[in-house]
A and B are shown apart, each in its own frame.
Chain A
Amino acid sequence: MRSAWMRREVGVADPVLQVRDLSIAWRGADGRANRVVDGVSFDLAAGGTLGIAGESGSGKSTLARALLGHCRAGSAITGGSIRLDGDDLAALSEPGLARRRGRVMAMVPQNPLASLTFHLRVGRQLEEVLRWRAGLSADAARLRAIELFGQMGLPDPERLARRYPHQLSGGQRQRVVLACAIACDPLLLVLDEPTTALDKTTEAQVLDLIRRLRTARQGAMVIVTHDLNVVADICDRVLVMQHGRIVEQGPVGQVFATPREAYTRVLLGAALRVENASRARPAAPGLPLLEVTGLGFRYARPSLLRRAPPGPPILDDIGLTLARGEVLGVIGESGSGKTTLGGIVTGLLAADRGRLAFDGTELTARRTREQRRRIQMVFQDPLSSLNPRRRVGDAVMRPLRLFHGLDQRDAARRAARLFEELGLEPALLARFPRQLSGGQQQRVAIARAFAAEPDLLICDEITSALDASVQAQVLDHLAAMQRRQGTAMLLITHDLSVVWRMARRVAVMQGGRILETGETEAIFRKPANPYTAALLGAATRAARAGQPELVDATG
């Protein structure tokens, strides 16, 4: 019963990278130092792959840059050492670091589009690294660049080299920055969120490429990510960070199977586990509330001054039904058209084609007051969904006065009750949005939506801007409100675990179409469509990594 991670464990005896007691601080505007990396120590063996996992603000990106001896302006290493290949990067001078960067250690940055110089052809940008860092001649660099692009799996490398960054797809850009980073075959390769901007199909391909690079090269790899599924997929060790400290570290299989720390359990808890018994989800009661048939949408029609963007429509022949009190999950990646669909149902956008029926009557972009009251929405970013210049009580009382004609006193009383139902102190009504936490802001937005007493609530990625520990809380409150008021919900998200938790039925979208619709339970356990299967495969890696025999089977 020796598992894969135990075999990989052997390498750590001979570390390439040794980080000891590393601390990095930002000096704030008030002159006080603020530690963002605090006493971090770890080792990494040659050929090893370490995943640094944590949510935004955990200090993982700052740590990643420090591994190249770099701190962003305003921050500095305040203690500890980073030993790489015998040198202490924390003690090296800037010229000494510059000599090693690109050759000994290299970085694949987070946002490939912004990380490539927009006004230079990508071939030239790779050649620059090859000429200045690998010391090749101009001709040799040109040939080697084409060769490297080919190795990165880029189609027609010679033509591609003559393109500008904005002309490439997301996956192609990621491959170009990867090529730039490995051009000098560095000992340590740091990848910062290498797949965050990519769709699941492309993510799988890029992860495949990274896996191939790892076996082809001797060096070590550090992958910084918020996505435990990516860690499960290609790392052999994992280091979980929170508030600049290491919460837990160890072999992936071990940490994922038996997490010792509560925070690691929270992060893992947010990951999808279809194996578990499904939660009690609201039953689908009777009559249909919303019927969508043959819906189509394109962006702004061409006019004299504006040309219509070419390409397929944003939405194409969408059909779905939603019963009273039912929760329907709409799953899709960015660009699938799911947000546009939400916009049309709420009336923010007008469809080009197709029909929308609500409670038996036709819905257009022009709505009656009653229709507006009955269809409400909660938005993705909690902070931007509340007016920063107005007290949050204002936001909740506005629909009460607008739709129910309550006077100031009754509206305040009703708003306080809504706050209590959502687990918020009524005293918070007098606060401004910035004075609340993200989870509180999102609950205020939910309170505003429920204040109208809607029959249909559209939730667009309402947890994606929240920390894992807060997500569950917000979803629980939302589910409780939904059950109490018997509201139907359209739950738009890219996060399969949200749908698994909340929705009895699910629709899977890709490229503006609905691929399949059905019971969540059935689709998640046995997806009929290959794309749905890929989405599920990507989302359940972390859960599977907790089961050593599965790691053996896939790893």
Chain B
Amino acid sequence: MTVLLRRPAALLGLLLVALHLAVAIAAPWIAPFAPTSLLDAPLEPPGATYWLGTDDLGRDAFSRLLWGGRVAMLVAFAAGAVAVLGGALLGLAAAYRRGSFDDVLMRLVEMKLAVPTILFVAIFVTGFGQSVPVLIVAVGIIQMMGVVRTTRAAGIVLMEQGYVRAAQLNGEGGATIILRELLPNVADLMAVEFALRASSALLLVSALSFLGLGISPPTPDWGLMVEDGMALLESEPALVLAPALCIATLVLGINLAAEGLSDALGLDAARGGGG
């Protein structure tokens, strides 16, 4: 942590993430109005009552802004956790087993790389409907494939190490070797991967919401707010730019923190963050 704090960019990133998290958690208490209630005439200009004015349905834009990261962050961090835990176990298992298990898994990873992420989610949403659990699973699976790739590569290097050899020679089982010998040695990588996966999941979720394939109305969400406000860019720029700025600063914060973390741990974020 101290190494992280010594890098100003990483520190800025952490602060941004912390700020967004705090606001998201505290939104029910600090928001002046309920985010979904129709309060006033549509498109009131910003003022003392409605700091950012009201939106096209007469809801308080500022309250919606405070609430708007909650679901997206929930989906992104949950999907990031699913991706890193599942991906690391699969990747290490592939490194340990090799053979046909590895071959099949690598085919699946390549298949994922061939499908643009948005299309992948679109397939899921077409099949299973548009809900938060479906989003978490779909985004989690997509992000998982990248984690499988990096942890497998790390695992293959670890499998050559003397301590893994020694454990194999002593007849330790696959689960013991994966959990006891391999997993602790990819913990750094997993921390960086979690940050990278969460940031790209967040980008994906907000893009999906913007397209109308992600979080569905009336849930307050930044991506949806941008989409709703797009037509009003000329007259009410704040309705679009404020949520857009929120998404950008949150993702930037996570990425800066991830960069600082991987730098401090001597990992290569640029390589890990593909796809």
- Do A's and B's CB atoms come within 8 Å in the complex? yes
Q: Return chain A residues, CB-CB under 8 Å to B169.
A: 346-348, 372, 375-377
Q: Return chain A residues, CB-CB under 8 Å to B165.
A: 348, 377, 379, 385
- Is B37 in contact with chain A by the CB < 8 A criterion? no
- Is A386 in contact with chain B by the CB < 8 A criterion? yes
Whether B171 lies near A305 (C-beta < 8 A) is no
- Is A490 in contact with chain B by the CB < 8 A criterion? no
- Is B162 in contact with chain A by the CB < 8 A criterion? yes
- Is B217 in contact with chain A by the CB < 8 A criterion? no
Known: A376-B169, A448-B166. A387 touches B185 (CB 8 A): yes
Whether B168 lies near A348 (C-beta < 8 A) is yes
Q: Return chain A residues, CB-CB under 8 Å to B161.
A: 384-385, 387
**Complexed CA–CA distance, A385 and B162 (Å):** 4
**Complexed CA–CA distance, A495 and B163 (Å):** 24
Q: Which residues of B contact A (CB under 8 A)?
A: 103, 161-163, 165-172, 180-181, 184-185, 187
- Is A194 in contact with chain B by the CB < 8 A criterion? no
**Complexed CA–CA distance, A376 and B162 (Å):** 12
How many A-B Cβ pairs are below 8 Å? 56
- Is A480 in contact with chain B by the CB < 8 A criterion? no
Instruction: Kindly report which residue of chain B lies nearest to residue A433, judged by CB atoms.
Output: B163
Whether A305 lies near B103 (C-beta < 8 A) is yes
Whether A387 lies near B170 (C-beta < 8 A) is no
**Complexed CA–CA distance, A414 and B185 (Å):** 27
User: Which of chain A's residues 365-389 have a Cβ closer than 8 Å to chain B?
Assistant: 367, 369, 372-373, 375-377, 379-381, 384-389
Contact with B along A229-267 (1 / 0, CB 8 A): 000000000000000000000000000000000000000
Binds B, one of A53-61, A114-122, A394-402, A507-515: A394-402
Summarize B's interface: helix, strand, loop or mixed: helix
We find that the number of chain A residues with CB closer than 8 angstroms to chain B is 29
- Is A452 in contact with chain B by the CB < 8 A criterion? yes
Contact of B171 among A372, A387, A389, A445 (CB under 8 A): A372
- Highest count of chain A CB atoms <10 Å: which of B165, B170, B172: B170
- Is A27 in contact with chain B by the CB < 8 A criterion? no
- Is A404 in contact with chain B by the CB < 8 A criterion? no
In the assembled complex, 24 residue pairs joining A and B whose CB atoms fall closer than 8 Å, in A order, are A305-B103, A348-B168, A348-B169, A367-B171, A372-B171, A376-B169, A379-B165, A381-B162, A384-B161, A385-B162, A385-B165, A386-B162, A387-B161, A387-B185, A388-B185, A389-B184, A389-B185, A389-B187, A390-B184, A398-B167, A402-B172, A403-B170, A445-B162, A445-B166
User: In the assembled complex, how far is the CB of residue A67 from the closest CB belonging to chain B, in whole angstroms?
Assistant: 31
Q: Return chain B residues, CB-CB under 8 Å to A390.
A: 180, 184
User: In the assembled complex, how far is the CB of residue B101 from the closest CB belonging to chain A, in whole angstroms?
Assistant: 14
**Complexed CA–CA distance, A369 and B172 (Å):** 10
User: In the assembled complex, how far is the CB of residue B262 from the closest CB belonging to chain A, in whole angstroms?
Assistant: 16
Q: Return chain A residues, CB-CB under 8 Å to B181.
A: 387
**Complexed CA–CA distance, A347 and B172 (Å):** 13
**Complexed CA–CA distance, A379 and B184 (Å):** 21
Contact of B163 among A376, A387, A399, A403 (CB under 8 A): A387
Whether B171 lies near A384 (C-beta < 8 A) is no
**Complexed CA–CA distance, A346 and B167 (Å):** 12
User: Which of chain A's residues 109-148 have a Cβ closer than 8 Å to chain B?
Assistant: none
User: In the assembled complex, how far is the CB of residue B231 from the closest CB belonging to chain A, in whole angstroms?
Assistant: 53
**Complexed CA–CA distance, A373 and B172 (Å):** 12
**Complexed CA–CA distance, A420 and B184 (Å):** 29
Instruction: Kindly report which residue of chain B lies nearest to residue A304, judged by CB atoms.
Output: B103
User: In the assembled complex, how far is the CB of residue A372 from the closest CB belonging to chain B, in whole angstroms?
Assistant: 5
Contact of B170 among A380, A388, A398 (CB under 8 A): A398
**Complexed CA–CA distance, A458 and B268 (Å):** 37
User: In the assembled complex, how far is the CB of residue A345 from the closest CB belonging to chain B, in whole angstroms?
Assistant: 11
Known: A305-B103, A390-B184. A385 touches B163 (CB 8 A): yes
Q: Return chain B residues, CB-CB under 8 Å to A398.
A: 167, 170
**Complexed CA–CA distance, A373 and B185 (Å):** 26
Whether B103 lies near A379 (C-beta < 8 A) is no
Q: Return chain A residues, CB-CB under 8 Å to B166.
A: 377, 379, 385, 395, 445, 448
Q: Return chain A residues, CB-CB under 8 Å to B168.
A: 348
**Complexed CA–CA distance, A369 and B173 (Å):** 12
Q: Return chain A residues, CB-CB under 8 Å to B170.
A: 372-373, 398-399, 402-403, 452
Known: A387-B184, A388-B185, A390-B184. A395 touches B163 (CB 8 A): yes
